[in-house]
Amino acid sequence: MGNEGFDLAIIGSGGAAFAAAIRATGLGKRVVMVERGTVGGTCVNTGCVPSKALLAAADARHAALDSARFPGIMATTGPVDIPALIGGKAALVESMRTEKYIDLAADYDWAMVEGDAAFTGSQEAPLLQVTSPSGAVTTIEAGHYLVATGSAPWAPPVPGLAETGYLTSTTAMELDQVPESMLILGGGYVALEQAQLFSRLGTRVTMLVRSRLTSQEEPEVSKALAAVFADEGIRVVRRAIVDSVTMDESTGEAVATASVAGGHEVFRAARLLVAMGRRPVTDGLNLGSVGVKTGTSGEIVVDARLASSNPRIWAAGDVTGHREFVYVAAAHGTLAVENAFTDAVAEVDYRHLPRVTFTSPAVGAVGMTEKDAVDAGIRCDCRILPLQNVPRALVNRDTRGFIKVVTNRDTGRILGLTAVAKDAGELAAAGVYVLEAGMTTAQVAAMWSPYLTMAEGIKLACKAFTTDVSKLSCCA
């Protein structure tokens, strides 16, 4: 395929890449996709799918251990067969990768090339040079190029950390045994999910967090999750900054020294997991040679249309440094193709982007937090509905959490919704529709909502702006 021309050349094969390729082939464009590793990208291979599969398994085990909250129900569990658990996860990943990626590429019939891609040529006439695993070099010329190389786990430059053999969210899901203890650095969604996953599998977990849990969400979320984690035996140490890490040669433990509340503490664990964010994968792409600007973390700098500083080169997904959700990446891929090949001038709009953390209870949010509204100069009003006031939560015998609604005080229009609850992701999805419709609390409070659903909590939270919901009867 030397010097063969295409309409679109895509680097990467994850959510952004596939969405772009599907849309481009639908427009009748000739597409080639270059992948240096495993087809499918982060989500299906090492991110969303495997992590949530393991979380679901850990939740099932925890449900058995927690069965006593239901009168008359008693259940027990045995040790975790971790090889079987990991094997089941791997089988699911393989199935979804085949069905949703490899088979789709064949169905749409775009070209697939295996190898490392790097830009060459000039800013005016960019080319892709692909080096295969065997060393063969192929040059690809395209009308437009899309970089969709994603991101990878990042570790801070802590003295001694690189020598400890620390785990990341990727390598942690390949362990062949459940660690006796684990030290987790970070307090974001990946750290939270991994902490609860391993705790529910039987690991003693300690989290070292620089500020608070879920620092970008409502402070009530942090408090609620901290209480849940404390109940489950997960230790959360806030305002902890790791100064150094070493290995204890006699025990094989990781030993971290951290500054905590003005003093120093030492933490030990069998395994150390770093979950302090991800960084875009752009090394080796030779972007500078074709005039593509990158940011301080290596991200490709794009405008609201996802165009880079080179008008023929676009970027989509995590590599842009934008929100790291696979549904954002997929939307990016489609939008970039629309802008490249049609008269569209579509821009990315994150105002009503839902955010979900798959802890148990889960965290779901959409739109503005109270702080966002205040920072934007909006006169806002808020209500927090404890789950004790949601009939579904009472029936579930799990009232840990809340639903919070943020509104414009002058208009009553709903600006944001946050929930800590079972099925909070579904509440966030419902919130997207509410925000997109520009609804007010009065409108939502007067709408139909099925009894004994968690979504009824949104209606009740909106009623709380004018009513003491604790004094309502069922369905009132």
Q: Which domains does the chain have, with CATH numbers?
A: 4-152+279-341 (3.50.50.60), 161-276 (3.50.50.60), 354-471 (3.30.390.30)
3-state helix, strand, coil in the chain (%, to 5): 35, 25, 40
Structure-token pair, residue 118: 């790097």
Model pLDDT, residue 473: 86
Q: Is the peptide bond before 361 cis (omega within 30 degrees of 0)?
A: yes
Query: Which among 294, 333, 289 is positioned nearest to 314, based on CA atoms?
Result: 333
Q: How far is 257 from 9, CA to CA, in rounded Å?
A: 47
Model pLDDT, residue 378: 98
User: Is the Cβ–Cβ distance between 452 and 392 less than 8 Å?
Assistant: yes
| Burial call 178-200: b when 16+ CB within 10 Å, e when fewer | bbebbbbbbbbbbbbbbbbbbbb
Structure-token pair, residue 4: 């063969």
Model pLDDT, residue 310: 98
Provide the percentage of residues in the chain whose pLDDT is more than 70: 99
Pinpoint the alpha helices (H) of 170-232: 189-201, 219-231
Model pLDDT, residue 474: 81
| Angle separating helix axes 82-97 and 48-65, nearest 10 degrees | 140
Q: How far is 161 from 269, CA to CA, in rounded Å?
A: 14
User: Is the Cβ–Cβ distance between 465 and 386 less than 8 Å?
Assistant: no
Pinpoint the alpha helices (H) of 279-420: 326-341, 370-375, 391-396
Model pLDDT, residue 179: 96
Query: Which among 230, 184, 176, 233 is positioned nearest to 204, based on CA atoms?
Result: 233
Give the HSE-up count for residue 288: Cα atoms under 13 Å, Cβ half-sphere.
4
Model pLDDT, residue 4: 58
Q: Which contacts (CB < 8 Å, 24+ apart) does range 127-135 have?
A: 128/9, 128/11, 128/34, 130/34
**AA identity, residue 258:** A
pLDDT digits (tens, 9 = 90+) for 22-57: 999 999 999 999 999 999 999 999 999 999 999 999
Model pLDDT, residue 68: 85
Cα–Cα distances in Å, from 25 out to 33, 50, 102?
Answer: 12, 29, 16
User: Is the Cβ–Cβ distance between 414 and 367 less than 8 Å?
Assistant: yes
Cα–Cα distances in Å, from 70 out to 64, 150, 396, 398?
Answer: 11, 44, 9, 10
| Average pLDDT, consecutive stretches of 10 residues, N- to C-terminus, the chain (476 residues) | 77 97 97 96 91 94 89 88 94 94 94 97 96 96 98 96 94 94 97 97 97 96 98 97 95 96 93 97 97 97 98 98 96 98 93 97 98 97 98 96 98 98 97 98 96 96 96 82
Q: How many residues does the chain have?
A: 476
pTM of the predicted model, to two decimals?
0.94
